[in-house]
Chain A
Amino acid sequence: MVCHFCDTLHEAGSLPESTAARCVRCGAVLYQNRAASLVRATAFSLTALLLMVVVHTFPFLTMETGGMRTTLNPAGAARALIDEGSPIVGWAVALFTIVTPLVMSLALIYICGPLLFGRAAPGSMTVARWMSLTEPWNMIEVFLLGVLVSLMKLGKMAELHFGVGFWAFALLMVCMAAAVAAIDRHELWDRLEVAKS
């Protein structure tokens, strides 16, 4: 295999569980054998999927001020931007906070679930390619920081309550990170290749 950073050619041997191989020239991690990778990836993405349902059905954040009450969730933030004259920004918010995590977790389940039984689902190579393209655009943790900053901005003028949706969103962030970190990309591709042949 070659190093992604500097293109040095290496011979890829098999690794014991929970260890990593590094490039001899630039020190970048080449590939890893993470513990219980497939089980973890599937379990965490399933949990993430369930949490997404909770995030979008239960109250997220409620603001009360002078007898008036408004509520917010990620989809609402995107819709408000679309309605108030910034449709492009609104769609970008929807894409980065709703669509990307959904695509990521669905793709991980679709690929890793069958692999647990030593099989490759039809078209999983294409799905894996799409997943690696969407990965950098997953911004749920950034949205959470955005919620924090907004709270500081509104803290003085209104009373704010967190709903179940908010806590589910915080857990979703952890689950997505765990699901993505569970399996090394090279390991995933190698397993797909073995399962296909």
Chain B
Amino acid sequence: MAGCHTCGKVSPVSLGKCPRCGTELHLRKPGSIQKTAALLIAATLLYIPANLLPIMVVSEIGGTTASTILEGMVEFWKTGAYPIAIVIFTASILIPLVKIVALVWLCAAASGKVHPSPAILGKVYFFTELMGRWSMVDVFVVGILVALVQLGAFMTITPGPGALAFCGVVVLTMFAAMSFDPRLLWDRLEILETPPTIKP
């Protein structure tokens, strides 16, 4: 018996497809750890250019300045806009990093390298799925600034290569979180010890 990934209906795996919604039935998502790991490696590699390359280029009368995510944050911090600096730091630098680390940890736990409690891991997984989208905020900011600041010779803003890399990091980590099957964490528990007593 397997629960459908999409609609949750429980039916025999031998059917192949869910009789209710037509999604393919699996006991666990096939190749879950491999897929998640592959996407994570790609995301980690992209994370480097995402932070090193400029996300936007400002052309003014005085010349052009390119700024990376970190520089944008530092500028806010220097001008005393601490809340915004913290928001950018959290969304653009901390969340992708925490997500990658959390998913690596989850993969390690699912393949039996580390043995923390599945209940805690479940919460970690829930949060990585939840917060991933917020990292897109800097990409949106670039879009908004590029659209608004088109003042001819005065000042124009164009997107930099970092924006594409960063967008890639967000999308890849989101796919990585989706391809991970949290049920693998509980399979480990069943191998390690006797099934837990179920409280009513």
Please list the residues of chain A having a beta carbon within 8 angstroms of any beta carbon in chain B.
1-9, 24-28, 31, 61, 63, 65-66, 68, 70, 72, 76-81, 84-86, 88-90, 92-93, 96-97, 125-126, 128-129, 132, 136-137, 139, 142-143, 145-150, 152-154, 185-186, 189, 192-193
Contacts and interface: CB of A to CB of B under 8 A. Distances in A.
B154 A66 contact: yes
B23 interface: yes
B9 A189 contact: yes
Nearest to B174: A136
Given A24-B199, A146-B137, A89 B159 contact: yes
Given A63-B148, A77-B143, A2 B136 contact: no
A7 B183 contact: yes
B100 interface: no
Nearest to A145: B137
A77 B7 CA distance: 35
Interchain residue pairs A-B with the least CB separation, the first 3:
A146-B140, A2-B3, A77-B143
Chain B interface main SS type:
helix
B192 interface: no
Interface size class of B (residues with CB under 8 A): 35 or more
Contacts of A66: 151, 154
B22 interface: yes
Given A6-B186, A25-B186, A68 B154 contact: yes
Given A2-B10, A25-B198, A26-B119, A145 B134 contact: yes
Contact of B122 (A1, A28, A142, A148): A28
